[in-house]
A and B are shown apart, each in its own frame.
Chain A
Amino acid sequence: MENLTPVVKAAASVLIHTPGLVCHGSKPAREIASDPFRREQLRAALRSFDAAQSYLPNLAFVGSRAPEGLYDIERPWFDHKAEPAEGCNAFGSIIDESRFLALVALADPFKNISLLDRFWEDTAPRLEGSVVCRPFIASTPGLVDANGLKTKITDGHGVPLFLGAQPEPVGWVANGHVEDDSLSATVLLENLCAKVSGALALQEIFVKNGGSNKKDIDLLVGCSEEAVGDRYQRGGGNLAKAIAEFGGCEMASGFDIKDFCAAPIPAMVTAAALVQAGVFQNVLVVGGSSLPKLGMKFLYHLQKRMPVLEDMLAAVAVWIGRDDGQSPVVNLAGVGRHPVSAGASLDQQLKTLVVEPLNRLDLEAGLIDKFVTELHNPEITVPANGGDVAERNYRMLGAVLAKAGKIRRDEVAGFMRERGLPGYAPTQGHIASALAYVPHACQRLTRGPFQRCLLFARASLFLGQMTQLSDGMSVLLERHP
């Protein structure tokens, strides 16, 4: 009989440095609209690509450093120049903005994006030179000359594309429909950024796992936070299939799973369940980036005279397939869910997502090497009065586990260092929510010393104003027996 046990065959992550896109983040766009001087202030506080490449949390994200190293490095981390790690990261690349903008234009089948012809001429050879970007050059993007671009800007009906802090635009995104807000230029740009970043993470999987064949992929499950659709089906979805097409997975279909920041966990659980049920053999879970979250806390960063650190788009891809005798197992018997009756508070969430599955599996907390949850970089959130999200999660989890008798009271204080992780991910919602750590988890559950990682994520459903509740889900990854 076939062994249908689902395993994580590979995982990859990608970061894209997009300082020029920060002005299209939700908060910066609103602030610039009400006070155009904000654009100048923002520009003056953007980071260089070198700075982004040598930023310690970014290096932890792409796997050239262990995240735990951050515990012993005093903040500010942005002042601490590490060796840039281009080309030798364990999990994926840090991509620069010019290549990314060119890919965004290439990924736009409706040619709403026009790139300045000179910019494309300069950038196309750089795409050719990148093993990750090269496969996407199957066509030519929409192009415009300098005069044509000026005319578009004068006419309006779209938004300009900037490269870093350069004041002159290098492209234009036109509205996709004159009277449909769901297809406005900013919505299309957001969706295309999620599409391209997701496809880059997918591509990293195949770059890092030579010999694997894209044609073996049956299904993509999307877990990004965008809402693709027109006015009659806002959020209609299936960005996954668009990513499959752009990423060259010809035999794959796709669908998206929506659950705010928690979506990657139900996506991984669904993918693993489809494999275990024998429905599909190889499923890719892909989380693309979140453009609206760029610069969300930029006013605080400006006020504190810091660089605007929310300038990174991030994406992760996870390949779930049938048992190969070596990859970490997705233990579907250990899935934790957050029922309606558990309300919205963090302690209740942790009880249902962590304590209950541990009890069900009769596992001691000490048998879990890492509890993995929201790993937002504290250097971004603390200056905005948001505190250290990872630390708060672990402090509460320590308290909940102690109350449940899973750890001793005297273990609470050291719980984060012992069983948790410092925040290192860009504030890209779902990406920071455990998904960012999956490549690390795979590495440590195969070549490293780990036996088990419990991943859990939380969803702020109340933001959509349909309920005051939250949601969440957890899943256990185990070393292959």
Chain B
Amino acid sequence: MKLQGKKITILGERDGVPSHTIEQAIEGLGAEVVYSTTQCFV
């Protein structure tokens, strides 16, 4: 699996890994985040 050149959708979660954290983690990998959201169930 490669992220280079891909369009990324991030479905983060408040009690899991929030999208903000995932964005930070994949920064510099050559992927473009096109949608990033964090879910909260409570």
Contact = CB atoms under 8 A, between A and B. Distances in A.
Interface of A: 261, 297, 343-346, 374, 376, 381, 384-387, 389, 392-393, 427, 429, 432, 458, 460, 462-463, 468-470
A468 B40 contact: no
5 contacts: A343-B20, A344-B19, A374-B42, A460-B38, A470-B18
B4 interface: no
Nearest to B38: A462
Contacts of A462: 18-20, 37-38, 40
Contacts of A469: 20
Nearest to B37: A462
B34 to A, nearest CB: 15
B40 A463 contact: yes
A432 B17 CA distance: 22
Interface in B1-33: 12, 14-21, 23-24
Given A389-B15, A468-B18, A468-B20, A344 B42 contact: no
A386 B21 contact: no
A381 B41 contact: yes
Contacts of A297: 41
Contacts of A429: 42
B42 A468 contact: no
Contacts, number: 58
Contacts of B20: 343-345, 462, 468-469
Contacts of B42: 261, 374, 376, 381, 386, 389, 427, 429, 432
B37 to A, nearest CB: 8
A387 B17 CA distance: 15
A244 to B, nearest CB: 29
A293 to B, nearest CB: 8
Nearest to A385: B41
Contacts of B37: 462
B3 to A, nearest CB: 19
Given A343-B24, A386-B42, A462-B37, 20 more contacts: A343-B21, A344-B19, A345-B17, A345-B18, A346-B16, A376-B42, A381-B41, A386-B41, A389-B15, A392-B15, A393-B15, A432-B42, A460-B40, A462-B19, A463-B38, A468-B18, A468-B20, A468-B23, A468-B36, A468-B38
B39 to A, nearest CB: 9
A228 B14 CA distance: 26
Nearest to A396: B15
* Residue of A376, A427, A460 most packed against chain B (CB within 10 A): A460
A343 B21 CA distance: 7
Contacts of A460: 14, 38, 40
Given A462-B20, A468-B20, A469-B20, A344 B15 contact: no
A284 to B, nearest CB: 26
Given A346-B15, A392-B15, A468-B36, A384 B21 contact: no
A308 to B, nearest CB: 16
Contacts of B14: 344, 346, 458, 460, 470
A341 to B, nearest CB: 11
B35 to A, nearest CB: 12
A467 to B, nearest CB: 8
Contacts of A376: 42
Contacts of A393: 15
Nearest to B21: A345
Contacts of B16: 346
A218 B42 CA distance: 33
Contacts of B23: 468
Contacts of A427: 42
A374 B41 CA distance: 12
B19 A387 contact: no
A230 B23 CA distance: 36
* Residue of A346, A389, A432 most packed against chain B (CB within 10 A): A346
